Structure 1
């Protein structure tokens, strides 16, 4: 037994000594970068502790007690009483302290056997035990600390909206954002805060469309279904369109366009389809009244389809056999580099859409042209090319659009009365290098663009990031709402952004309703490029405050936290809008965005917004490479082969994460999340919230951690409520509810819209990086809530093909009441 105790003592001593030596080496390296001295000092203390243990000196326990108390004081001073930030600072130190109190260590210390009990309880072990108790008490106290922002949104009605608000019957959801206003709000209120906990599965289907061999990594279900009359319409990643019975989920028809999936394709998704009724008031009737009710879908292989809403068959009078080839007019056909992922906008007998252009593949890419087609015939009515903005008349058969102009890959909104379309604009090729961008790109990129419905001409443009070097595309459908401001009613546009700014503009002119301030930002772009001296900061904001610091670095243990501190100090970061560099630059928030394509949901009666912000940093590093002139896109047109720089991905392109080739530019770019060596985010949690915004006052009223780590922890599911990232959007209802499915854990959740309190959740069979919707079914007089759970390839959530509808049980007290 004595030999075993001695062996245990020396093993613990060796572990502490090895850890100490590692902390000394890495700690002094951190010091050399200007970082904290804690790790180096603690490493010295651990090596000294190990030395004393090998000498069987009880003073080892006293010294280690000092290390524990020093760690505790340093941690609390640095970050306060925050449980998730305290854990990696003290977990290893605390565990080693417990090992030192075990009898196999304490009984082997001291030279005089008769002195050992005294040394153990009064001389050495007692201070160590007390230090552990103090650390435990601080830990328990920190668990009770709530770092959420609490508050309550105004509940009074600030405006009255008519039945069939925005032209949509109260029982339906006829457009991607429910209407052309994009608010994702339903007037239904059968389901409310008092009964949402009773929701149960009403029906569930599987579409049968799953990831196939040859599909890109980012194969995703991001669809929001439509509901018209008694039918739901949705699309799958391979652009299969399904029509379902709204009461039972039974399939009525399906249409498979049999798309070609190019190996160059960046994404494979379909966020939604669009509906058009030619018999509706003000609509343009179809030729010969064929297919008066139509479903429009734009595909990943660059076609626009018009389908009969009753049969699913292509409408013969539209284009060529029901489809339009969207490659027409492009400067060249670069397979896979141009696609459609979002629902078109249908308004005044027009189908309006732009397309997604592959990020960072080459400097010569397809055009970002926005086109309007006759909804009856498929004839081109107008085209707005950001590279040639003055001429919106349809181009001739021998003409083509400009190369690499800014594109819009999301869905647009429309104000029918003003006759304006509002387009969320992204960047022209390429994102992180901007030296050679034309004046038109500098004007239209990363902006909100107002175009006349009838002509496509520019009415106004509002830029959200100047000379964008960070991939801060305006990613989501603008929301149109009439705000009751103190000065009187104002027709507003609310735009969430990747930066976290929420721009609230007068949609007639583009002038800010809530103040926007131009503030100085870091300069110092790489040689040949430049940065804008200022950037716009909205007073309505979910931007992270303050910018991250070394103290915000995180990890599961002190080791990966130390690695993140070294990484942080080794990279360039001077706050928001620090330009990309060859050294590597922290971009926070990263190109994942505070909000992405899911946007926000707005209640037009209360004039409040519900949103799910994320906080994840990325690292952008420019990689020098030899420039091979493309000659007006000739290289891209030839679809070159061969490896990109530094052994990276083919010039055909790569995933959004990893090395992006930027063919024709002096730099490729490596884009990666800012992660620790074990794959955890380097910045501390929470990483995801739900938030409520009062659009009249411009104040963020509450912000509450959202989501758990259940589906992110290996082997054992640990549902820590740390607040996890989400990709997808919320929707809200007149029942004072918000719904969200987008988190990295597999749940649909219902929230009290006023406070953000979670009221209900249901487990989903796969990741649900989509936006839910709601509708009314006359067959059972019930309100349904629909979630799509198909997963997301890039995020690593489980893939699936599930569509699930929830409702109150038949016969319940609330079921059967009118909407």
Structure 2
């Protein structure tokens, strides 16, 4: 090998920079690679690490052979990376960029090693220039969205016909069908970039991120010239739609130790009283009433015109939802999702604290008369024969599956659709009853008049994964290709599946297969031999992971994630919990969550946002569970009354980044007629988050976990703010391209909504901004956007 004098000046600095970086990285890669190989992983990292150490030694001795050796290893790494990860940008970037930087330094140093006087510098500098360009292009690629599915056909925009424009937004999902679609087109693709803040209001309730679980997740309602907003602390505000000026405020004075939020209000209007001549009727005390669910288990009726409690409802406006429930410890039962107004009843389920113990508060669903507040019916999953209040001295069945998410209502069929959770606790179910298993993690269709079950369909059998049905069912009339329609219900799930059923019969419209799944070996547990796979609709973000799916911002955390993965048991979506550490993907947050979907009914397109976060878990024998265990989010959950607790940990790298390859959250358009994904794009950047929670302040559209609802409009726009960066965005519903965004003062988990003012004729887009889930930045903003006034 050629040797010679040491370089001087800048070349000498570059030489030793290369030596140190190559040695340090090579040592780490070789050591961690040996660990990976010892647990059955790839040997590549051991080899490349050792080669780097040898090359660093030669370069330190001024021998160009070290650079030749590294060049061969780098070319081999490119071949290995493509074979390991394919041609996807982010996996290739994490595997090659760091090594590419070392290759660039090596090219710059090459002419100055050995007998440098006899070496032509131009070829080496030419290679360095090519490498620099490739690295710059690769770095620039970080700032371009990596579309997963590209739209192939145009999607027409149908103008709103005269007289068909939306008048009000009266329900959480706009309608009781959960479509989140607005037949409005004043704001459209051509002018959306002109949107500007029209007004900003403040609720005065800033959700505290101090472990109390307070989150602003509200989608406001609009009726006429008034906007109605609820806050995380169970207060209600009425605002003028054109100015945001407060008309009135109602404070329920609710208290709760955790999980404080209000996703929406119910609204009822006594149309008969409104339509009757004034001389023929006495004015109703509350002809227009709002229903507020509180975090301390009350249902309150509020006069929408005055902000006063409706005295004719319940006890001076209040129904006590703890009646018939038995003991409710603080924070164990509360209302977080919107009540459903279905005809003349208002229906509530309830959030039950997960995983503390067996025998927690009942999962009963109850309907109350909208006028009097009297109980109209009850559905007790553990005792379907009990349709009213329980007899004196008894309660509704405790520990049963509950309905914590939003429900849907078909007035024509007179059916209410309940998305159920599972009987708590989540990860051990040996004590569950036959009725628990029958109704858990299911869509249950009940008669709106009687509460009697018409049909039910289960999406997870004997649920051991906390695969509650988290989202409001979409009710849609699907064109049948023969000039008619099929009444369907579309249900998204935490396991990344989409079920399409005939909402009249409960039978699948899109194909579902019962597939064998692995069984566990926990003593006292039982396992379903099969699980339903909705194969007739797309599966989103729920692939069975393999070692090559692991990712990291650098080769080091890539290695650490690969090691972590190989040390866990992973058998797909339905990997059963065990005493060993296992990987559940998607985790218990989803997949899809409570934000639900929006739809373009004119083109049969449904828009679905998801998150891709794995959950590492294992069962903890009862004797090893600490007495103060809670684990509301992560950590050890006690699951008292069972032989085990359970450890839950996010599947993250040491830098706090999800261990599987990006994206970590997407928006997808699904053709409801064909069951195909039309387009899929990553959503969200690392501008307001990053490794170790340090904000990167870079608009890198890697696609971050999403939480919140979307809004579709007839003008071909899709609005969404439930990202981890602080933006409200508008996407083109034809192809998923972002065509507008506005910086918010803090993040948002709320659903955008829209209306046209009856006074001014101006269309507004409204968003609550109270803080993104992972961010400590909180606020109390209600922001209205509109087009500028015509000059």
TM-score, normalization by structure 1? 0.89
Deviation at 1:356, TM superposition (A): 0.2
The residue number in structure 1 matching 2:87 is 81
The residue number in structure 1 matching 2:465 is 470
CA distance in 1, matches of 2:401, 2:161: 36
Aligned residue for 1:398, secondary structure, equals: coil
The residue number in structure 1 matching 2:198 is 202
CA distance in 2, matches of 1:280, 1:40: 78
Q: Is the 8 A contact 1:154 1:694 kept in 2?
A: no
Whether 1:520 and 2:516 are equivalent positions in the alignment is yes
Deviation at 1:297, TM superposition (A): 0.6
Closer/same/farther in 2, CA of residues 395 and 422 from structure 1, 3 Å limit: same
Unaligned runs of 5+ in 2: 1-6
The residue number in structure 1 matching 2:319 is 324
Q: Which moved more, 1:53-62 or 1:302-311?
A: 53-62
Which whole-Å deviations, capped at 9, do the CAs of 1:162-184 have from their partners, x for residues lacking one?
967xxxx8221001111211111
The residue number in structure 2 matching 1:738 is 718
Whether 1:569 and 2:582 are equivalent positions in the alignment is no
Closer/same/farther in 2, CA of residues 76 and 372 from structure 1, 3 Å limit: same
Closer/same/farther in 2, CA of residues 615 and 583 from structure 1, 3 Å limit: same
Q: Is the 8 A contact 1:472 1:499 kept in 2?
A: yes
Q: Is the 8 A contact 1:470 1:591 kept in 2?
A: yes
Q: How does 1:424-443 map to 2 (within 5 A)?
A: 424-443=419-438
Q: Which moved more, 1:334-343 or 1:8-17?
A: 8-17
CA distance in 2, matches of 1:734, 1:148: 25
Deviation at 1:282, TM superposition (A): 12
The residue number in structure 2 matching 1:374 is 369
Q: Choose the corresponding residue for 2:48, options 42, 53, 57.
A: 42
Which whole-Å deviations, capped at 9, do the CAs of 1:273-324 have from their partners, x for residues lacking one?
1111123489999998321211101111111101111111111121122111
Q: Is the 8 A contact 2:160 2:184 kept in 1?
A: no
Q: How does 1:519-538 map to 2 (within 5 A)?
A: 519-538=515-534
The residue number in structure 1 matching 2:588 is 591
Which whole-Å deviations, capped at 9, do the CAs of 1:106-141 have from their partners, x for residues lacking one?
64x43xxxx223357599x68985994796499489
Deviation at 1:552, TM superposition (A): 1.4
CA distance in 2, matches of 1:179, 1:3: 72
The residue number in structure 2 matching 1:350 is 345
Whether 1:699 and 2:676 are equivalent positions in the alignment is yes
Aligned residue for 2:704, secondary structure, equals: coil
Q: Which moved more, 1:575-584 or 1:242-251?
A: 575-584
Unaligned runs of 5+ in 1: 627-644, 813-819
Which whole-Å deviations, capped at 9, do the CAs of 1:632-672 have from their partners, x for residues lacking one?
xxxxxxxxxxxxx555x725x33322222212222222222
CA distance in 2, matches of 1:765, 1:243: 22
Whether 1:722 and 2:674 are equivalent positions in the alignment is no
CA distance in 1, matches of 2:52, 2:605: 54
Q: Is the 8 A contact 1:68 1:131 kept in 2?
A: no
CA distance in 1, matches of 2:281, 2:70: 82
Q: Choose the corresponding residue for 2:395, options 390, 395, 400.
A: 400
Q: How does 1:43-442 map to 2 (within 5 A)?
A: 43-102=49-108, 107=112, 109-110=113-114, 115-118=115-118, 121=121, 129=128, 132=131, 136=135, 139=138, 147-151=147-151, 155=155, 170-212=166-208, 216-262=211-257, 265=258, 267-280=259-272, 289-442=284-437
Closer/same/farther in 2, CA of residues 448 and 59 from structure 1, 3 Å limit: same
Closer/same/farther in 2, CA of residues 119 and 467 from structure 1, 3 Å limit: farther
Deviation at 1:206, TM superposition (A): 1.3
Closer/same/farther in 2, CA of residues 743 and 805 from structure 1, 3 Å limit: same
Aligned residue for 2:686, secondary structure, equals: coil
CA distance in 2, matches of 1:677, 1:137: 27
Q: Is the 8 A contact 1:254 1:312 kept in 2?
A: yes
Q: Is the 8 A contact 2:727 2:744 kept in 1?
A: yes
Closer/same/farther in 2, CA of residues 133 and 203 from structure 1, 3 Å limit: closer
Q: Is the 8 A contact 1:659 1:670 kept in 2?
A: yes
Aligned residue for 2:610, secondary structure, equals: coil
The residue number in structure 2 matching 1:629 is none
Q: How does 1:705-716 map to 2 (within 5 A)?
A: 705-713=682-690, 714=694, 716=696
Deviation at 1:755, TM superposition (A): 2.0
Aligned Cα RMSD in Å? 3.0
Q: Choose the corresponding residue for 1:661, options 613, 635, 638.
A: 638
Q: Is the 8 A contact 2:89 2:146 kept in 1?
A: no
Deviation at 1:147, TM superposition (A): 4.3
CA distance in 2, matches of 1:474, 1:283: 39
The residue number in structure 2 matching 1:679 is 656
Closer/same/farther in 2, CA of residues 483 and 305 from structure 1, 3 Å limit: same
Closer/same/farther in 2, CA of residues 4 and 781 from structure 1, 3 Å limit: closer
Which whole-Å deviations, capped at 9, do the CAs of 1:411-443 have from their partners, x for residues lacking one?
111111211110111111011111111111111
Deviation at 1:49, TM superposition (A): 1.5
Which whole-Å deviations, capped at 9, do the CAs of 1:730-784 have from their partners, x for residues lacking one?
1111112211111111111112222222221111111111111111102211111
Q: Choose the corresponding residue for 2:775, options 768, 788, 796.
A: 796
Q: Which moved more, 1:39-48 or 1:9-18?
A: 9-18
The residue number in structure 2 matching 1:631 is none
Whether 1:650 and 2:625 are equivalent positions in the alignment is no
Deviation at 1:254, TM superposition (A): 0.5
CA distance in 2, matches of 1:404, 1:525: 24
Give the aligned length.
776
Which whole-Å deviations, capped at 9, do the CAs of 1:504-556 have from their partners, x for residues lacking one?
11111101111111122222242332322221122112333642221111111
Aligned residue for 1:50, secondary structure, equals: helix
The residue number in structure 2 matching 1:760 is 740
Q: Which moved more, 1:306-315 or 1:702-711?
A: 702-711
Deviation at 1:67, TM superposition (A): 2.1
The residue number in structure 2 matching 1:558 is 555
TM-score, normalization by structure 2? 0.92
Deviation at 1:595, TM superposition (A): 1.3
Q: Which moved more, 1:447-456 or 1:518-527?
A: 518-527
Which whole-Å deviations, capped at 9, do the CAs of 1:366-406 have from their partners, x for residues lacking one?
11000111111111121111111232133234321111100
CA distance in 2, matches of 1:508, 1:157: 30
Closer/same/farther in 2, CA of residues 259 and 283 from structure 1, 3 Å limit: farther
